[in-house]
Structure 1
Amino acid sequence: MTLDYFPWVLAARFTDSPAVRDRRTELTFTQLDARVAAVSSQFAAHGIGHGDVVAVMLPNRVELVLAMFAAWRLGAVVTPVNPAFTSVEAGHQLEDAGAVLVVNESGEELRPGAPSIAVGDLATEPVGPVGEPAPVAPTDLALLIYTSGSTGRPKGVMISHANTDVMTATIGEAVELTADDHCLLVLPLFHANALMVSLLATLRVGGQLSILESFSASGFLDEVERLRPTFFSAVPTIYALLVTKVDGRDMSSLRFVVCGAAPATRELLAACEEKLGVPVLEGYGLTEGTCASTLNPLHGPRKAGTVGKALPGQRIRIVDEDLQDVPTGTSGEVLISGDVVMSGYLGNPEATAETVVDGWLRTGDVGRLDEDGYLTLVDRIKDMIIRGGENLYPKEIENAIGSLPGVLEVAVVGKPDAVLGEVPVAFIVPYPDANLTPEDVIDHCKSRLTRVKVPTEVTILTELPKNPVGKIDKPTLRNTLSA
């Protein structure tokens, strides 16, 4: 299988055209291919081969791209790891994925028996023989991207090369990407959105990618003016910050921008289109669907308040509790089908069978379709909290809090926030003889969770509200926050 996003394929087509850059490094397609070959020889010297899992735990930078492509050159699988993870969080992912090599900033060993390579030690020249790229079958895994459901620990979403090929080609066609396009990347490369929309969809057509390591509104706008990108993909929180700073800036290089990962208000979308002067394409998707399943069109009606229509090759259904279709305009669970649906959850056939039913991906989201096929998201069945575009899963936070001695019951819900959309807050019932304070809970969370997952507030209660069957009544808790 030959794929248009492999650098050795791209180098033959686009040679000395610019490919990727960050503040340290700038590579043409030919140079990208050569650097990938060098790193792959280094990986091969560590015994990496077909089907092995390489973990890449780096912030946004060119070396993350090099490591991913180098693993693919050997037929290996990549699991991108959030570089802000604590050792507990990273350790679970590395162990569950079976990572046999880790690329990180320090070179510190994060999994016993799995050597680590510091980013500064990645090869720039071959360290041994550089063979031909390994053959790749469509069903071979490309990525293991970890995501949590509303229960349990994070699960490894198995994304095949066939999934990746279809997804990136579809995105490119939907927004008419060509070799003249230039993407400014600000979203984290351990997420499917950045990998599929910004990186691979752009490179496969010969476009160029400029990678930013972090975001500030003024700094981002400086880079738009300096680098002259034609598009970028971001989350509503970023757009909310940009519209307050964009007046007087030259945004004329842009031809569209993409908004996703969390719902955006009609008012924000309208303000963005006015201030940026280009179409804002809002879409929707899940990691389990490789990235995107709907998108408001580049040409044609863009319906604010919707997340657009199904992308080519995908179908959207709205069903009731029995998975039977409901009438147009009626709310129900959103189901997705197409060649982008994941291969499954790694080592978890039960969860896979619950999520993918007869080829249809159960999203856990509630939505409705209008007569033109535009999808409006109504609610989330799962309790996921979206903080500034970052998906947070209450059960993971609850598990961390529950490991603190003295905690009897815990519930974590999202509290509305004007800037971030939602933030996690916790409600705790301690054991009668425990002397817990909110500060104790927050300090415990800081030792086990990434900063964005740490509750912004902790409320100590004598009891939690329960529904008639005895389960914690989270809607009631949410209502107390929004009242």
Structure 2
Amino acid sequence: MTELSFINKPQSQPIKYKSIVDVFNENASEFPEKEICIQRFPDGSRRPITYSDLKRKAVKTASYLVGQGIKVGDKIGIAGPNSIEWIIGELAIIMAGAVSVHLPMFDGNFRKTLEGIQISECKSVLLDPENDVKFLEDVEEYVSNNPSNERSGSKNLVFVLLRKIGKSFLPDLESMEISDEHQPEPQLPRIFPETPAIIFMTSGSTGKPKMVECTHLALVNTGSANMFTRGVGGKGESYFNDRPFSWIGGSIIYCLLQADTRVFRDGRITAKGGDIMDLWNIIMEEKCTSGLFLPFTIYDMLQNKDKIAKTGYRMKSVITGGQIIKRKETGILGEVCESLYMLYGSTEVGIVTYCQIDSLVETGSIGSVLPGVQIKVVGEDLNTVVRGEMGTLYIKSPWMLKGYFNATEDQNKSIVDGWMNTGDVGILRTDGQLIIKGKMNNIIKRGTLKVVSGEVEECIATIAGVKDAVVIAVPDPRLYEEVCACVVLDKHTSVTIQDVRTRCAENLGDNIVGQAPTFYLEFDTLPQLGTGKPDKVKIKQDVMSRLGISTQ
């Protein structure tokens, strides 16, 4: 009988029936003076925090939240750049029994962040707008126009700054007297393992925000947590990861649970392609044995591998994910690191496979399934296909999402009888190799960001004078893919390509952490298929020719 496309890797470790707070307190008692998080700054300075200091500050902040009426299960948003204050804030939210909602921030656009706050039903928000003056002004205006009415018992959304910022009238955790020294702090609640802990925001395949709700139990038992933090190193080692704390791959929770020291800096420096040797100097100074880097950083390391090799320092392992690694990027082996691993997964199911990469690895191979994970490949009829046939990957794991919070009907369709529809197309071969062939949805992967072409096209279409627009992906050696807007303008109007660029920047953010295209090309007409739809194959060929991009 032909074997079906199904993999079941049994759970190898017993389930820990504990909350995040339980495990954190155990680690804080065992390693009180351990520098668990280290923030590095452009001037070379460092700011560490130990388990004992983190616990003391988080407990005080949690007590403040409880004193403000926050109850178990309440949603508290948190937004801002990676910082020690962010770590204290997130842990405090969890200690208070609330659910930490990871909110996106848009440069100068508080309205979009407010939409996420309202959809997730947050009762309070811990915020660090950093140097975004416009964003802070909009928050203050909102607070001024929506005062709390204590007499009627109603209390509107409360914003608390993670650190003191200028002359802002908003309360901040850095300078406020969190509790009177003559009065006992409020008793913190007992947190049970099944309690929701974090809601990760993700754009998803439709481009609409999805709120992935994870419990304490799921995060404590994430089987891949050690791959996030230490790669092939031993427990308690130091690792570098500057991915945003709001992303599951950058979540600070894993480091606190694994007792592995997290070294980080502002990830935007890395994303913008700054001097890779600045990054490497941090790695050497902190003696990081592993690092989680996105493919564009590996590309930068590859371009500077000779300089790195001359330093005489080499990491045990580099971990990556988010997109398929090309063979040429294995050139960092022996120079930058001893081993290179690619992780495969999603916010909804966590990391479910890992693959050790070398120059012989097959493109699309996602490697070994982690313990506790089940994977099947299904056809259009939702039945499991035989090995060797192509289909859609469905995944189930002990640490997968509890569910989508406030899910739409379409979002709920992604979860079928406890299985997560990944939207990825792949093949489980007869030799047991699982190969990813691509994405069902039309998503452009720029670095780790998913740019939804339809959303960008919709933005451009709102401009008066734009007759037609198609957004396509073009290959990029560093970011994997880049975004190109192909636009047909009405010659009878004064609209220009610069107008299109400006509108995209205003509504989609930049082309680093936002969804704005990098390339804008004007066309007289766009070639069409017989159905009347744009012929994206021909359009892409024209674009690559005009941009001078090789197909090799």
Q: What's the TM-score once normalised by structure 1's chain length?
A: 0.88
Q: Classify the secondary structure of the residue corresponding to 1:288.
A: coil
Task: Give aligned-pair identity as a percent.
Answer: 22
Gaps of 5+ in 1: none
CA distance in 2, matches of 1:474, 1:455: 16
1:432, distance to aligned residue in structure 2 (A): 8.1
| 1:22 lines up with 2:39 in the alignment | yes
CA distance in 2, matches of 1:139, 1:402: 45
CA distance in 2, matches of 1:446, 1:69: 34
Code of the aligned partner of 1:209:
R
2:99 maps to which of 64, 77, 80: 77
- Name 1:151's counterpart in structure 2: 206
CA distance in 2, matches of 1:163, 1:450: 33
CA distance in 1, matches of 2:415, 2:361: 29
Q: Classify the secondary structure of the residue corresponding to 2:338.
A: coil
CA distance in 1, matches of 2:351, 2:394: 13
Range with greater deviation from structure 2 (11-20 or 98-107): 98-107
CA distance in 1, matches of 2:527, 2:198: 41
Q: Classify the secondary structure of the residue corresponding to 1:398.
A: helix
| 1:271 lines up with 2:327 in the alignment | no
- Name 2:261's counterpart in structure 1: 208
- Name 2:10's counterpart in structure 1: none
CA radius of gyration, larger in: 2
Range with greater deviation from structure 2 (87-96 or 32-41): 87-96
Q: Classify the secondary structure of the residue corresponding to 2:458.
A: helix
- Name 2:122's counterpart in structure 1: 99
Q: Classify the secondary structure of the residue corresponding to 1:256.
A: strand
Q: How does 1:168-187 map to 2 (within 5 A)?
A: 169-172=223-226, 175=231, 178-187=234-243
- Name 1:11's counterpart in structure 2: 28
CA contact (8 A) 1:53 1:97 kept: yes
Q: Classify the secondary structure of the residue corresponding to 2:298.
A: helix
Code of the aligned partner of 2:112:
E
Q: Classify the secondary structure of the residue corresponding to 1:33.
A: helix
CA distance in 1, matches of 2:340, 2:472: 30
Code of the aligned partner of 2:157:
A
Query: Cα gap change, 1:177/1:40 in structure 2, threshold over 3 Å: closer, same or farther?
Result: farther
1:318-368 deviation line (CA, Å, top 9, x unaligned): 222222223333332121111233223222241233101111111111122
Query: Cα gap change, 1:190/1:474 in structure 2, threshold over 3 Å: closer, same or farther?
Result: farther
Q: How does 1:184-199 map to 2 (within 5 A)?
A: 184-195=240-251, 199=252
1:236, distance to aligned residue in structure 2 (A): 0.6
Q: How does 1:255-334 map to 2 (within 5 A)?
A: 255-268=316-329, 270-289=330-349, 291-296=350-355, 303-305=361-363, 306-334=365-393
Greater relative CO (CA pairs within 8 A, separation 6+): 2
Q: Classify the secondary structure of the residue corresponding to 2:244.
A: coil
1:67, distance to aligned residue in structure 2 (A): 0.9
Gaps of 5+ in 2: 1-16, 41-45, 130-135, 144-155, 164-171, 546-552
- Name 1:344's counterpart in structure 2: 403
- Name 1:164's counterpart in structure 2: 219
Query: Cα gap change, 1:396/1:277 in structure 2, threshold over 3 Å: closer, same or farther?
Result: same
CA distance in 2, matches of 1:400, 1:408: 13
CA distance in 1, matches of 2:292, 2:504: 31
Query: Cα gap change, 1:264/1:176 in structure 2, threshold over 3 Å: closer, same or farther?
Result: closer
- Name 1:127's counterpart in structure 2: 179
Q: How many residues align?
A: 475
| 1:2 lines up with 2:26 in the alignment | no
Taking only aligned residues, the RMSD between alpha carbons, in angstroms, comes to 2.9
CA distance in 1, matches of 2:479, 2:94: 35
- Name 1:142's counterpart in structure 2: 197
CA contact (8 A) 1:38 1:123 kept: no
Query: Cα gap change, 1:101/1:448 in structure 2, threshold over 3 Å: closer, same or farther?
Result: same
| 1:90 lines up with 2:113 in the alignment | yes
1:439, distance to aligned residue in structure 2 (A): 0.9
CA distance in 2, matches of 1:131, 1:372: 59
CA distance in 2, matches of 1:130, 1:400: 50
Code of the aligned partner of 1:47:
G
CA distance in 1, matches of 2:191, 2:431: 39
CA distance in 2, matches of 1:314, 1:420: 29
- Name 2:13's counterpart in structure 1: none
Code of the aligned partner of 1:101:
S
